[in-house]
């Protein structure tokens, strides 16, 4: 035992701006931290760069950013995996540390997010097959999928609701529904120890933009000229969305790490890993 009373950890005062929809202060003025406002612009910046690069030089876009047959070695796919992998590792660490300081509810919530994020990153590269190029096991290829992943499985393709759609619902629940419910935390009697797990404004906006972007594909089709080059670009809309999701998860992970540091300072609990 560390010798620090449980009161100083589990029931220690919570720092302000831990996440959720704490957008308005008691004085009625906006209370979103400036840093979260800045991070909320990140998805729009990335989308602007993608569209501008395509509009200025389609050859540059298809050579370096995204092209269907070479996408595993291009910027958008690599960024998606790297951001998702880093986010998953950070969330595992944060979930463990929340458990150490007795914020058990937050630890479980962030732990679920960590597992989902690691699964997302693993699926993005078919759990390594995209780069290590191993042969798909015969039994897996026969009964499940040509690749060692689940989101391209035969069962998934045949289902009305595919794995990616269930993933979209999960993200909306965790990043939109949960924070809105958290507004009524007092009335619902929800534990304040969930507060450190609630998403920040930047990650919420990024996930929402990712969801709306994918659903806007039909609008883009009506606005862009006809031609194979535009069809190839529109094919990548789903990949753009996955990149935004990975960035949103990374923003969430880093914001929870920042909250963890605040909580550790408040609780004055030594880091067992140091």
Can you tell me the distance from the alpha carbon of 36 to that of 33, in angstroms, rounded to the nearest whole number?
5
For residues 183 and 21, is the Cβ–Cβ distance under 8 A? Answer: yes
Residue 136 domain flag: no
Can you tell me the distance from the alpha carbon of 164 to that of 273, in angstroms, rounded to the nearest whole number?
36
Owning domain of residue 241: 39-122+161-267
Residue 24 domain flag: no
Neighbour count for residue 241 (Cβ, 10 Å): 23
Give the chain's radius of gyration (CA, Å).
21
Closest CA to 249 of 148, 147, 182, 167: 167
Can you tell me the distance from the alpha carbon of 65 to that of 54, in angstroms, rounded to the nearest whole number?
9
Residue 147 domain flag: no
Closest CA to 62 of 211, 235, 241, 215: 235
Closest CA to 15 of 251, 258, 269: 258
* Three-state secondary-structure class, residue 169: helix
* Three-state secondary-structure class, residue 72: helix
Number of domains in the chain: 1
Residue 84 domain flag: yes
For residues 246 and 81, is the Cβ–Cβ distance under 8 A? Answer: yes
Residue 139 domain flag: no
Residues 6+ apart with CB under 8 A from 116: 167, 170
For residues 198 and 20, is the Cβ–Cβ distance under 8 A? Answer: yes
Residue 12 domain flag: no
Q: What pLDDT, in 10s, does the model give residues 31-46?
A: 677 888 889 999 999 9
Residue 108 domain flag: yes
- Each residue's pLDDT expressed in tens, for the chain with a length of 274 residues: 344 344 445 555 555 545 555 544 444 455 677 888 889 999 999 999 999 999 999 999 999 999 988 998 999 999 999 999 999 999 999 999 999 998 999 999 999 999 999 999 998 888 787 788 788 877 777 767 777 777 666 555 555 557 788 888 999 999 999 988 988 888 888 888 899 999 999 999 999 999 999 888 888 888 888 889 999 999 999 999 999 999 999 999 999 999 999 888 876 545 555 5
Residue 43 domain flag: yes
Q: Match 């529109």 to its residue by tokens.
A: 234
């Amino acid at each position: 035992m560390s010798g620090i009373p449980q009161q100083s950890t589990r029931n220690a005062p919570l720092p302000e701006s831990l996440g959720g929809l704490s957008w308005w202060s008691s004085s009625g003025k906006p209370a979103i931290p400036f840093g979260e406002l800045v991070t909320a612009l990140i998805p729009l910046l990335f989308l602007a760069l993608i569209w501008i690069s395509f509009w200025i030089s389609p050859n540059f876009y298809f050579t370096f950013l995204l092209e269907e047959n070479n996408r595993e070695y291009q910027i958008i796919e690599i960024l998606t995996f790297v951001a998702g992998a880093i986010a998953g590792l950070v969330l595992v660490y944060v979930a463990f540390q929340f458990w150490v300081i007795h914020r058990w509810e937050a630890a479980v919530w962030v732990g679920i997010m960590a597992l989902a994020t690691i699964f997302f990153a693993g699926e993005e590269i078919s759990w390594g097959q995209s780069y290590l190029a191993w042969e798909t096991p015969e039994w897996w290829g026969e009964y499940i999928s040509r690749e060692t992943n689940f989101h391209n499985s035969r069962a998934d393709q045949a289902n009305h609701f595919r794995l990616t759609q269930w993933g979209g619902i999960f993200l909306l629940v965790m990043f939109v529904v949960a924070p809105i419910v958290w507004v009524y935390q007092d009335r619902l009697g929800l534990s304040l120890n969930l507060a450190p797990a609630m998403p920040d404004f930047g990650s919420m906006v990024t996930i929402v933009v990712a969801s709306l972007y994918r659903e806007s594909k039909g609008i883009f089709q009506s606005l862009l000229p006809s031609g194979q080059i535009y069809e190839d670009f529109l094919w990548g809309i789903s990949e753009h969305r996955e990149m935004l999701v990975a960035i949103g998860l990374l923003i969430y992970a880093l914001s929870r790490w920042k909250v963890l540091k605040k909580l550790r300072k408040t609780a004055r609990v030594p880091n067992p890993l140091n």
